[in-house]
Amino acid sequence: MQLEHEFTVPVPAPDAWRVLLDLQRIAPCMPGATIERVEGDEFTGRIKVKLGPIMVSYYGTARFVEKDEAGRRFVLEGNGRETRGAGTASATITGRLHEQQSSTRVTVTTDLDITGKPAQFGRGVLAEVAANLLDRFATCLADRITASPTTATPATEEQAAAQRVSVGGAQGDGRSMDSEAGTLDLIGTVGLPVLRRLTPALAGLAAVLGWLVARRARSRVVVHVHLPAYEERTRRPWLAGVRSRLP
C-alpha cells in the first residue's frame, strides 16, 4: 500500500537536505526508535510503535539507495522483522524537498508491505500512525534546528512564527487534509505516551507497524470483524486459523 505524508522544515532546501540526510542529527527525533549501527548509507536499529494497549517492535536495516541532491530527492529502503512475532515489514520511502520562501516542504511517499498481525490495520490507521510519528519527528527537528546556533535565528516574531512547523497528512483514501491535520496537531500537542528516537528511515518502518486489532478480539469470533486490509494482498498466516472460524 502507498502512504503519502508531508511536513515542513523551517530552513531553506539546501540546509534541509543536509539536516535530513544527517543520521546522527535526526535519529534522536524519531519517536520509538533506536539506531544501533551505522555503516555508510546503511543503518541498523529497532523501532517500537504503540497504539493503545497494542505494541509492535521491529528490528531491521535501512539504507539510502538514492541521494539526488540536485533533484532534491532521496530514496530509502528498509526491511524489518517483528522482534516478538513472525511478521515482517518492508518500505520504500521516497522523499522530495520543495523550496518555499524560507522553509522547505518535504513530501514523503511510502510504499509499504507488511505481513503478520499488523497487516490487519487498514491503510487509514497505518496512515494515521505514520502521520503521527512524522509529525512528532518534524516538530522535534524544527525545535532542534531553530535552537541550534549553527542556523540563522529568526530576526522577528513573524519569522519565528513562520518557522513553526506545520504538518499535514494527505492520504489517498479521500480523508480531508484539514481534519487530518487537526488530529495531528492535537496529538502532537498532547503527545503520545512513550516513543523516543529514530531516523526518517525508520519512519517508514514505523508506518509499517500500525496497530492491531485485538480489540475485536474480545474473544471468540470477534477477531474476524476487522480485516480492513483484506484486499491489500498481504500474507497473514496468523489469520488462517481465524478466518476458518468466521461465520
Partner 1 sequence: MIPPQFDYVRPRSVEEAVAALGEHGRDGDAKVLAGGQSLLPVLRLRLGYPTVLVDLGRAAGFHGVREEADTLVIGAMTTHHEVMTSKLVRAHCGLLAEATSTVADPAVRHRGTFGGSLSHADPAGDLPAVARAFDATMVVAGPGRLRTAPASEFFLGHMTTALEPEEVLVAVRLPKLGSDWGYRYEKFTRVAQSWAIVGVAALVRRSNGVIAEARIGLTNMGSTPERATATEDALTGRAPTDDAVASAAALAAEGTAPPSDLNGRADYREHLARVLTRRAVLAAAMRTR
Would you tell me which residues interact with partner 1 (CB under 8 A)? 50-55, 84-85, 117, 122, 124-125, 128-129, 132, 173-176, 179-180, 183, 186-187, 190-195, 211-219, 221-223, 225-228, 230, 247
- Least distance from partner 1 to the Cβ atom of residue 52, Å: 3
Residue tagged 487534509 (cell numbers): 177
Integer Cα distance of 82 and 87 in angstroms: 5
- Least distance from partner 1 to the Cβ atom of residue 192, Å: 6
- Least distance from partner 1 to the Cβ atom of residue 128, Å: 6
Q: What are phi and psi of 244, to 5 degrees?
A: -70, -15
3-class SS of residue 206? helix
CB of 184 or CB of 202, closer to partner 1 = 184
CB of 149 or CB of 247, closer to partner 1 = 247
In the chain, which residue ranges form alpha helices assigned H by DSSP? Answer: 13-20, 23-26, 123-147, 157-162, 177-190, 200-209, 237-243
- Least distance from partner 1 to the Cβ atom of residue 110, Å: 18
Judge whether 72 and 97 are in contact, CB under 8 Å.
Answer: yes
CB of 5 or CB of 72, closer to partner 1 = 5
CB of 40 or CB of 53, closer to partner 1 = 53
CB of 60 or CB of 118, closer to partner 1 = 118
Q: What's the grid cell of residue 49? A: 510503535
Burial of 176 (0-12, 13-18, 19+ CB in 10 A): exposed
SS (HEC) of 64-114: EEEEECCCCEEEEEEEEEECCCCCEEEEEEEEEEEECCCCEEEEEEEEEEE
CB of 77 or CB of 180, closer to partner 1 = 180
Find, among 238, 214, 245, the residue nearest to 87 by Cα.
238
- Least distance from partner 1 to the Cβ atom of residue 184, Å: 9
- Least distance from partner 1 to the Cβ atom of residue 190, Å: 5
CB of 149 or CB of 193, closer to partner 1 = 193
Neighbours of 140 (CB within 10 A): 17
Integer Cα distance of 99 and 53 in angstroms: 40
- Least distance from partner 1 to the Cβ atom of residue 244, Å: 15
